[in-house]
A and B are shown apart, each in its own frame.
Chain A
Amino acid sequence: MAELKLADYKTTVHNDWCPGCGDFGILNAIQMALSEMQIPRHKAVIFSGIGCSGKTPHFINVYGIHTLHGRVLPFAQGAKIANPDLEIIAVGGDGDGLGIGAGHFVGAGRKNVDIPYLIFNNAVYGLTKGQASPTLRLGEKTKSLVTPNTSNSVNPIALALVSGFTFIARSYSYDVKHLKDTIKRAITHKGLAFVDVLQPCPTYDDIHTREWYQGIDKQETGKAMPRIYKIEETGYDGTIKDESEINEKMTRILQFSSEWGDKIPVGIFYQNELIPSYHERIAENNKEYFAKPPSHQEISDNKNNPIAKIDKILDKLQIKD
């Protein structure tokens, strides 16, 4: 098969995101990851929620399923459980995944279906004109808020950890290479992978701007001090190789998760493939699941007769004199 180029993963659909939107970096990174991994276009499916991030699938030239607000994870899990051969990527906003969809975030963690899930995290509800999202901190007042935020923020990394996600990472939309590499790792991970993507909203978030992440306001040493640092560069490795490491690692991840402000960690906090995926759990009771998942099941013969044989079930219910 001919090599697929980056351009092959792009559609001609007009992109109506605001100029300078962090979403562009994420879109590019996803397309680059797909291209570098040479994932056949028809094998890949991007599922999205609602909001600016929800439009992502329309810009990627693979199957694209733009679902409902907050529900991207159950939609995507249903498809992946029914057909584990598909390469499914779920994307959504922070309001989508951690507000209206928070119940599914936790529910998905418990299942560990083999999909990567990217949250485009910009602390505001962009498409509805800048209301506070679940990741905006208490007391912060972004541009279109009438009063400072009266709700506290949820901690996505910690929530993913306690919910049971088996891969947890963070990246930054303007570091496309780091993001692309992280997405590739998330795709390859066996199990549910969460990538928290810091993504400035240039229109409504006047606090967490690109310049703020760059540390333009922090000139103590004479030059900007970027807020983001890579945990791999500190020698940290989030891979769990033995179950005995889990408790210590979890404590360390919770520490990372609470770092914010002057030092914001990115990288892979956690990867644990010792926990069986939901698919493996199904296969324990249904040995042929991987060979014949729901989507591959034959249900009728060539004359459209059902091929299920229910005699044994009926015999049990039949009246025997």
Chain B
Amino acid sequence: MSFLTSVNSISWLIGGPQGSGVDSAANIFAKTCAKEGFHIFGKREFYSNIKGEHSYFTIRISDKPVNSHLEEINVLVSFDAETLFRHADKVSAGGMIIYDSSLVETVLEEVPTIDFEASNRIRKLLQDSGQSMNLNGMLEFAKSRGCRVYGLPYFEMLETVAQKMNDPKLSKISRVVNVMAISASISLLGIKKDKLINAIQEVFGSKPKLLASNIEAAEYAYSYIGTKYDTKNITYNLTPKDALKDYLLLSGSQAAAIGKIVAGCRFQTYYPITPASDESEFLESNQIIDQVDGKSGSIVVVQTEDEIAAITMAIGASLTGVRTATATSGPGFSLMAEALGWAGMNEVPLVVTMYQRAGPSTGLPTRHEQSDLLFAINAGHGEFPKIVLASGNIEESFYDAIKAFNFAEIFQLPVIHLLDKAISSSIQTCKRFSNDLKIERGEFKNTIDKNQSEGAAGHFQRFKLDDSPISTRVPIGTENAIFWNTGDEHTEEGHISEDPENRNKMMDKRMKKLDLALEKINQDDMAICHDFDSDGKNVVVSWGSTKGAILEALEKLSEEGNKMKFVQIRLLHPFPTETVKNFLKEAKLVIDVEMNYTSQLGSLVQQNTGREVDYKIVKYNGRPISTTELYIALKAILSGNNERRIVLDGGT
């Protein structure tokens, strides 16, 4: 089974020790291919480690948009032994492997960063295939499966590059090995060298010395392949496409950050945590903001002493009228729960961008999961309104970031924007973002007429009990509008009240916002039924970053005559019951797909619509769901699989 839906499509992987330039090499490769006109989807995997552990970056390139990764690899690029040991068995027949020819004698046991469990699996693989326990064995195994291998003597090549540059200090340029490796792969793939050189210039343009050595290395490795190997019969000879006009190549954390800038978020707090910090750092790097009126604005980003300070500082700032957010991941979000209730109680608009990772506790801190859905919905003691919105990919992260602020201000409550590690650290080619969304601030006012201060003691009524649950909101510091906030139940002015009648009225006021949200929020922001018009009777339900793999798996199934619908639920709280009911109305089978153990969305669907989920496809090994494994699982269900719950386990 192959997902090479066109000739011009490959799955490419580079691996290496953390800190050795795997990421930057992958970025250069992705840029090169994008310049050539290919769509990109790239996925990063890395350990919770600074230097030395195995990290890798998978990139799919295609002449059609790509939304997910595959299990299979067509081109494996390496400059260390571990990458080969860990990934060579995934390279498809006809695939290509680039490796360091000086490492072939490396014995499996000698690689200290291959953990015991992985080592055992690799040993068994080599044993079963009758190969020796070294890299040579791994290469032989790959060749026996039809892979082609391309050894590069990196050390000698570095020496040559050093000579060419008249710089005898090899150590200085040893870091260019990563670029030599990708350059070799680009040469093998028949992609023109000038795109690669352009990409290197973009990445290292501001550092002349690095630029020079990287270009020299790239040029040399590119031509080395041509002189050393016969490249005529390469399976994956990619044909250039027309240029991608007005396309971006970016990560989810960048998309969300740019969305915040457009949304007018001008204050963000954070405490360092993977995978959320990237967003705050991007915002800080772009703290001075261009404006259409020619003036400039700015965002203040504050690193706090912990996540409790992050959210409470954000709430304090929000009281001054500024659009405010904090960004975190599961462990930090756990600490924020109490303050979330305070924001709900005091009707303070606030956006919490929650980048999920694998829990519980520290869990797999750099790996992916979607296990905080029910926690996000239920976070905080007591009952208060909040909105939980989940984006399905990088592009949605941008637009949803803007919507999150609108919802927060229109309904005056905390909004949790659920993203995850897969979205945050993946890269994708997206149509250039438009900023034609409106800024909707609801009942926010900057000035108050003296006569409007009409409370019991002539005070402004911040929590006025009226037909609408939404009251006029002003920044603290506004004349004629002095009010109080308290975590206690309170009066219309904001003073503590334990009166039972007042309690009911205030609870009703706050909780009614959830009904209002379901009335006002656009259908497409609640749930989307992909292929709604198809005659498919089987429906996949899911949320968040599984979207890419689901759409691709469904496309493949559809080509084979198995039409299915996909209901992507975007508004998780308040739950869009009517919309989802409508989408599931005629479903024969409902299949829930999620990156968690307990099928959290499945329970929500059941609880709210009364419709049982027939099949659950789950995954919790920390590695995102691939198109490949999802396709296989769905196919199994359609062919009458008896298992009601399928656990996926793909990934390295």
Q: List residues of B (460-509) whose CB comes within 8 Å of A's CBs.
A: 475-488, 494-496
Assuming the A-B contacts A71-B308, A82-B300, A308-B289, are A58 and B321 also in contact, with contact meaning beta carbons closer than 8 angstroms in the complex? no
List of A residues within 8 angstroms of B324 by Cβ: 78, 82, 294
A74 touching B263, Cβ below 8 Å = no
Instruction: Using CB atoms, name the residue of chain B closest to A298.
Output: B297
Q: Which residues 47-87 of A sit at the B interface, judged by CB distance below 8 A?
A: 47, 50, 55, 57-58, 61-68, 71, 73-83, 85-86
Q: Taking A47-B316, A71-B312, A79-B316 as contacts, is the C-beta distance between A317 and B249 under 8 angstroms?
A: yes
Task: Annotate B303-318 by CB proximity to A: 1 below 8 A, 0 otherwise.
Answer: 0111011101111111
Tell me whether B322 and A301 are in contact (CB under 8 A). no
Residue in B258, B436, B440, B482 whose beta carbon sits within 8 Å of that of A63 in the complex = B482
Of A26-34, A38-46, A202-210, the one with at least 4 CB within 8 A of chain B: A38-46
Residue B246 at the chain A interface, CB threshold 8 Å: yes
CB-nearest residue of chain A to B439: A300
User: A308 touches which one: B37, B435, B487 (CB < 8 A)?
Assistant: B435
Using A41-B482, A82-B267 as known contacts, say yes or no to A103 and B262 having CB atoms under 8 A apart.
Answer: no
B487–A288 CB distance below 8 A:
no
Q: Is B217 an interface residue (CB 8 A)?
A: no
Assembled-state Cα–Cα distance A131/B2 (Å): 68
- Please report which residues of chain A, range 272-321, place their CB below 8 angstroms from some CB of chain B when the two chains form the complex: 282, 285-286, 288-289, 292-295, 297-301, 304-314, 317-321
Given contacts A47-B316, A76-B316, A321-B37, contact A301 B292 (CB under 8 A): yes
- The reply to whether B290 and A311 contact each other, CB–CB distance below 8 Å, is yes
- A225 interface hit (Cβ, 8 Å): no
- Expressed in whole angstroms, the Cα–Cα distance for A305 and B291 within the complex equals 11
CB-contact partner of B313 in A74, A300, A311, under 8 A: A74
- Tell me the count of chain A residues lying within 8 A, CB to CB, of chain B: 70
A68-B312, A313-B258 as given contacts; A81 in contact with B439, CB under 8 Å: no
Smallest beta-carbon distance B480→chain A, Å? 7
User: Which residues 509-565 of B have a CB within 8 angstroms of A?
Assistant: none
Residues of B within 8 A of A221 (CB): none
Q: Which residues of B contact A82 (CB under 8 A)?
A: 267, 300, 316-318, 320, 322, 324
What residues of A have a CB within 8 angstroms of the CB of B339 in the complex? 68, 71
Assign chain B's interface to a size class.
35 or more
Residue of A nearest to B305 (CB): A107
Residues of B within 8 A of A147 (CB): none
Residues A299 and B300 in contact in the complex (CB < 8 Å), given A65-B484, A305-B439, A313-B258:
no
- Asked if B299 is at the interface (CB within 8 A of a chain A CB), the reply is yes
A interface, over-half SS: mixed
Contacts A58-B495, A68-B338 given; indicate if A320 touches B476 (C-beta within 8 A).
Answer: no
Distance in angstroms from A174 CB to nearest chain B CB is 26
Instruction: Flag if B298 contacts A63 (CB, 8 Å).
Output: no
Query: Is A146 engaged at the interface, CB distance under 8 Å to the other chain?
Result: no
* Known contacts A42-B477, A306-B263, A319 near B317 by CB under 8 Å: no
Is the CB of B288 closer than 8 A to any CB of chain A? Answer: yes
How far is B580's CA from A231's CA once the two chains are assembled, in angstroms? 71
Taking a contact as CB atoms closer than 8 A, the residue among A63, A282, A286, A294 that contacts B476 in the complex is A63
Interface residue B248 (Cβ < 8 Å from any Cβ of A): yes
A2 CB-CB contact with B under 8 Å: no
Please give, as numbers and ranges, the residues of chain B lying within 8 Å of A319 by CB-CB distance.
31, 34-35, 243-244, 247-249, 429
Q: Which of A47, A55, A77, A311 has the most CB of B within 10 A?
A: A77
Is B264 a contact of A288 with CB atoms below 8 Å? no
When C-beta atoms are compared, the residue in chain A nearest to B269 turns out to be: A78
A75 contacts B316, C-beta separation under 8 Å:
yes
- Cβ-based interface call for B362 (8 A): no
B435 A310 Cβ-Cβ under 8 A = yes
B433 contact set on A, CB distance < 8 A: 310, 314
Q: How far is the CB of A186 from chain B (nearest CB, A)?
A: 19
* A65:B319 contact, CB within 8 angstroms: yes
B residues less than 8 Å from A55 (CB atoms): 496
Q: Which residue of B lies closest to A110 (CB)?
A: B305
Q: A188: CB under 8 A from chain B?
A: no
Nearest A residue (CB) for B306: A103
Residues of B within 8 A of A312 (CB): 290
Task: Please tell me which one of the listed residues A286, A306, A321 contacts residue B243 in the complex, with CB atoms under 8 A apart.
Answer: A321
> What's the Cα separation between A157 and B82 when bound, in Å?
55
* Shortest beta-carbon distance from B632 to chain A in Å: 33
Q: How far apart are A48's CB and chain B's nearest CB, in angstroms?
A: 9
- Complex contacts, A128 vs chain B, CB 8 Å: none
- Which of A12, A289, A305, A307 contacts B300 (CB under 8 A)? A289
Q: Which residues of chain B are near A58, meaning CB under 8 Å?
A: 484, 486, 495-496
Contact present for B298 and A297 (CB under 8 Å):
yes
By a CB distance below 8 angstroms, the chain A residues around B299 are: 294
Query: Are A288 and B309 neighbours in the complex by a CB distance under 8 Å?
Result: no
Contacts of B435 in A (CB 8 A): 305-306, 308, 310
Q: Complex formed: what's the CA distance from A62 to B459 in Å?
A: 11
**Whole-angstrom CA separation of A161 from B318 in the bound complex:** 30
B 273-295 to A, binary, CB cutoff 8 A, 1 in contact else 0:
00000000000001111111100
Q: How far is the CA of A83 from the CA of B476 in the complex (A)?
A: 9
* B-chain residues with CB within 8 Å of residue A310 when the two chains form the complex: 258, 261-262, 290, 433, 435
Counting from the closest, the 8 A-B pairs by CB-CB distance are A299-B264, A78-B316, A107-B305, A78-B313, A321-B243, A82-B317, A300-B439, A66-B486
28 pairs of residues in contact across A and B, judged by CB atoms under 8 Å? A58-B484, A63-B484, A64-B483, A64-B485, A65-B485, A67-B316, A68-B487, A71-B312, A74-B308, A74-B313, A78-B267, A78-B313, A78-B314, A86-B320, A104-B305, A106-B305, A110-B305, A288-B296, A294-B324, A297-B266, A297-B322, A299-B297, A300-B439, A304-B438, A307-B297, A309-B289, A309-B290, A319-B31
Assuming A77-B313, A310-B261, A312-B290, what are 12 further A-B pairs, CB within 8 angstroms?
A: A13-B495, A45-B476, A67-B312, A71-B309, A77-B316, A81-B302, A81-B313, A297-B298, A305-B435, A308-B262, A310-B258, A310-B435
* Chain A residues with a Cβ under 8 A of chain B: 11-13, 40-43, 45, 47, 50, 55, 57-58, 61-68, 71, 73-83, 85-86, 103-104, 106-107, 110, 282, 285-286, 288-289, 292-295, 297-301, 304-314, 317-321
